[in-house]
Copies of this chain bind each other. A is one copy, B any other.
Amino acid sequence: MEQFAKTPKTTLKRLPQRGEFDREAVYKILDEALVCHVGFVVDGQPFVIPTSYGRVGDTLYIHGSAASRMMRSLSGKIPVCITVTLLDGLVLARSAFHHSVNYRSVVVFGQAELVEDELEKMSALAALTEHIVPGRWAEVRSPNAQELKATTVLAVPLEEVSAKVRTGDPKDDDEDMAIPVWAGQLPLTLTPGSPINDSLLAPGIELPDYVRNYQRS
């Protein structure tokens, strides 16, 4: 299925032209972003917690300490909403009203499943690590039995999903076009700085290319 089905929760009521349901387009956003915001409800109170994630095919994985509120709550098969946002730029219009930002966001609705199968758990953790730094998993020590036990991994199927995208120029009203103020876009990108060696790094260990050439988009 190349498109996600629109549902009442994922249909945009306003500006429907910003909606994006193409599976590949959605996955591209999920694969570029680093952090998601996980929403869940405990006793009627919403919680929104930032965390990292990984994707394997049509499944999103998150992980955390088995002791955390988020992991314990979500293991109880409650509804979850996971949102990923890439901020691409500021949009400066001639009127305050039409100021905006360019962005790409994905919203996933579903229910988390506890990953109990050890092989799936290990693949999910590999996906989480590779999502942050591609090439890293093969070089580092894999999780041991104790670490696996201390880590809860949850799988959220990518079924009820939509993206929302804004690009391009500000959209000013015709009667504002003569206002003599600069209008346009200021692009923003998440840019790597200079890598910082661990203060305990042994001498002679070189910076890997996947860190030196790190790029997100």
Contacts and interface: CB of A to CB of B under 8 A. Distances in A.
Interface in A113-141: 125-126, 129, 132-133, 136-137, 139-141
A13 B67 contact: yes
Given A182-B207, A211-B182, A83 B37 contact: yes
A34 interface: yes
A81 B205 contact: no
A97 to B, nearest CB: 4
Nearest to A176: B141
State the number of copies, please.
2
A79 B46 contact: yes
Contacts of A90: 34, 132-133, 214
Nearest to A69: B13
A83 to B, nearest CB: 4
Contact of A202 (B37, B180, B193, B207): B180
A140 B95 contact: yes
Interface in A159-217: 169-170, 172, 176-202, 205-208, 211, 214
Instruction: Please indicate which of the listed interface residues A34, A49, A197, A208 has the most CB atoms of chain B within 10 Å of its own CB.
Output: A49
A76 interface: no
A109 interface: yes
B188 A94 contact: no
Interface in A75-106: 79-83, 85, 87, 89-90, 92-97, 99, 101, 103, 105
Contact of A193 (B41, B107, B188, B200): B188
Interface in A47-63: 47-50, 52
B187 A190 contact: no
Contacts of A129: 96, 99
16 contacts: A9-B47, A34-B90, A37-B37, A39-B47, A45-B79, A48-B83, A50-B105, A90-B214, A92-B133, A96-B136, A96-B141, A99-B136, A99-B140, A133-B186, A170-B198, A187-B192
